[in-house]
Amino acid sequence: MKFGGVSVADGERMRHAASLVKNFQNKNEVVAVISALAGMTNQLQEMAHKAAESGSGQTPTSIKKFVNQTAKKHTDAIRSIRDERIEAESLKSVSDRLEELENGLLGIFHLGEVTERSLDYIMSFGERLAAPIFAGMLRSLELDAVPLTGGEAGIITDEKFGNATPLANSEGKISKRLAPRMKKGAVPVVTGYIGETKKGALTTLGRGGSDYTATIIGAALNAGEIWLWKETDGIMSTDPKLVPEARTLPVVSYTEAMELSYFGAQVLHPRAMEPAMRKGIPIRVKNVFKPDIDGTVIQKEPDKNGHAVKAISVIKNVALVNLSGTEMVGTPGSAGRIFSALGKSGVNIIMISQGSSERTISMIIDGGHMKKALGALETEFGKTLLKDIVYEGDVCAIAVVGAGMRGTPGVAGRIFSCLGKNGVNVMMIAQGSSEHNISFVIKKEQAQAALRAVHDEFELNRR
């Protein structure tokens, strides 16, 4: 069985994706996992926050205008169904959900507050509006298709709104709800990114969570493969916008893919590998516009004939925080207090490095979390323990990834030697004991030079 996670942007792209599902459904049982139309999730998030802000200038009239604009975007997509009866049915489903959306935004506006739970509810509408349209596309191609939310498909999660995790019994529920439909030849169209709690509250799985939805469902159904359709030929050796010589990687391991996704590669959701890993199911990343290209296969074993260094990724929206003070030397619990304070404030820590002298701890955090990070540290320590907090926002983190680096002498030396030869100054280094990832921090303006230098050093443009 091949399982498709289809990303859509507009009506014609959606119809193209529907034709792919029809082609593969001839010989396979297929579930389609659908994302929101292009830009929709960002727009919903922004509007929810604006509706809650008294000084943002929002009014019931402006909220109505936003809903009307959203309606037009989805109505335009519906026209690509090319079947009047199915178009009318899809339009009715979309109209009902748009009414729910307007009422939700008005509720936030009158309360003057947006909670994590209400934000998840609003942000779920991108996928909830797209699913009935895509199901309509499939029905116009004479497939039996039914739209389902993640919760209706059996994805029951905890109550961590914004970044929910499926409960242990979700797999059984998913299989029970989807497998009978598929055996009858139907194609379930499931909203990506969305689950629901035991009490029925909508949750989201984190940004980019449609990949995660696809692998959750694929694992529950013991799929032969999980296919993630993107607008790229697969996972690249590095960002082709910065290094045009970047190539598509034919094979990567689950571990390599996880490292790349956590360190800025936007192709995959960081948690998407977990369900597939448990079942040993290959994930294939393919280009929705070039279906004949094999793409990248993500599997248990790395490509043994490949390079020691497999790929390089970069995270640009980060900040470097250096904490120092002589009182930290030999003081038990200092690091624990630092990370506990940051964790309680919701600060995302990406990298950590500490010298053996214990005097300095360096961290890379999400760039948007700088203000609350500084506030949390000052609240926790004041000036008694930390004599100096130095931070820089004009930096980026680069990760050099490859399972073949483990046990291969000289990889780190080659990396930092080639950076030095190209005038790239390294500000911080971190390497885990797995040796699958060597990460470092540099000035943001040197990102392209660093990527190109490492890419050339390990000849990643060659198979």
Nearest partner of 210 among 228, 196, 192, judged by Cα: 192
CA gap 30, 382 in Å, rounded: 57
Q: What local confidence, expressed as pLDDT, does residue 85 receive?
A: 96
Q: β-strand 349-354 against 296-299: which pairing, if any? A: unpaired
Q: What local confidence, expressed as pLDDT, does residue 266 receive?
A: 63
Per-residue pLDDT tens over the stretch 390-401: 888 899 999 999
Q: From 193, 215, 230, give the residue that closes a domain.
A: 230
Q: Are residues 65 and 174 in the same domain?
A: yes
Name the pLDDT band for 3 (thresholds 50, 70, 90). very low
Q: What local confidence, expressed as pLDDT, does residue 230 receive?
A: 87
Residue 431 belongs to a domain? yes
Per-residue pLDDT tens over the stretch 189-202: 999 999 999 999 99
Residue 225: pLDDT above 80? yes
Per-residue pLDDT tens over the stretch 340-368: 989 888 888 888 887 665 567 889 998 88
CATH at 12: 3.40.1160.10
Residue 260 belongs to a domain? no
Residue 393 belongs to a domain? yes
pTM, two decimals, is: 0.87
Q: Are 346 and 372 in contact (CB under 8 A)?
A: yes
Q: Are residues 72 and 202 in the same domain?
A: yes
Q: What local confidence, expressed as pLDDT, does residue 365 receive?
A: 92
Other beta carbons within 10 angstroms of residue 240's beta carbon come to 14
Nearest partner of 28 among 191, 214, 175, 226, judged by Cα: 226
The structural domain count of the chain equals 2
Per-residue pLDDT tens over the stretch 377-435: 888 877 665 557 888 889 999 999 998 888 788 999 999 999 999 999 999 998 765 67
Residue 305 belongs to a domain? no
CATH at 358: 3.30.2130.10
Residue 100: pLDDT above 50? yes
Determine what percent of the chain is predicted with pLDDT higher than 70: 92
- The angle that helices 40-52 and 116-123 make with each other, rounded to 10 degrees, is 140
Q: Which domain holds residue 154?
A: 2-230
Nearest partner of 218 among 265, 297, 156, 280, judged by Cα: 280
Could you tell me the two tokens for 38? Answer: 């292009």
Residue 263: pLDDT above 80? no
Residue 91 belongs to a domain? yes
Say which range, 73-82, 418-427, 442-451, 454-463, has the weakest mean pLDDT: 454-463
Nearest partner of 142 among 183, 187, 94, judged by Cα: 187
Q: Are residues 325 and 200 in the same domain?
A: no
Q: Are residues 220 and 336 in the same domain?
A: no
Alpha-carbon Rg for the chain in angstroms:
24
Name the pLDDT band for 4 (thresholds 50, 70, 90). very low
Per-residue pLDDT tens over the stretch 125-143: 999 999 999 999 999 999 9
Q: From 190, 205, 230, give the residue that closes a domain.
A: 230
CA gap 101, 389 in Å, rounded: 44
In whole angstroms, how far apart are CA 451 and each of 57, 356, 399, 400, 459? Answer: 43, 29, 10, 9, 12
Q: Are 131 and 147 in contact (CB under 8 A)?
A: yes
Residue 242: pLDDT above 50? yes
